[in-house]
Amino acid sequence: MLRERDDTSIISYTKDISTGGLFLVNTGNFQVGEQVNVVLSTPSTWEPLSLVAQVCWSERAIDEDLPGVGLKFATLSDEQLIALSNFVSSLEFEG
């Protein structure tokens, strides 16, 4: 879930995520530099993570690429970083 500046909520998913940020698949109107609140539900946390992020770039759908925005997480607390790191680690697999 993501809240834009007018406090509307958008439910979406990520194509890529790391402890530094994520790519949010979305066709919404986001501006580079805009600050947004990301509420990330993960199987590894009891409560959703509420993270502040900044829009760094946007991508339109071209060929097989999905439209969306690249978000960089702002300062994370130690607890947020640990929870996010655990979640990202759980996604890594060999194959």
Number of domains in the chain: 1
Give the pTM. 0.80
Report CA-CA distances (Å) from 9 to 12, 17, 38, 82: 10, 20, 10, 26
pLDDT tier for residue 1 given thresholds of 50, 70 and 90: very low
CATH number at residue 44: 2.40.10.220
Q: What is the pLDDT of residues 21-73, one digit of tens each?
A: 999 988 777 889 999 999 888 776 788 889 999 999 988 766 667 888 999 99
The pLDDT value recorded for residue 77 is 93
Residue 52, beta-bridge partner list: 37
Q: Which domain holds residue 65?
A: 2-91
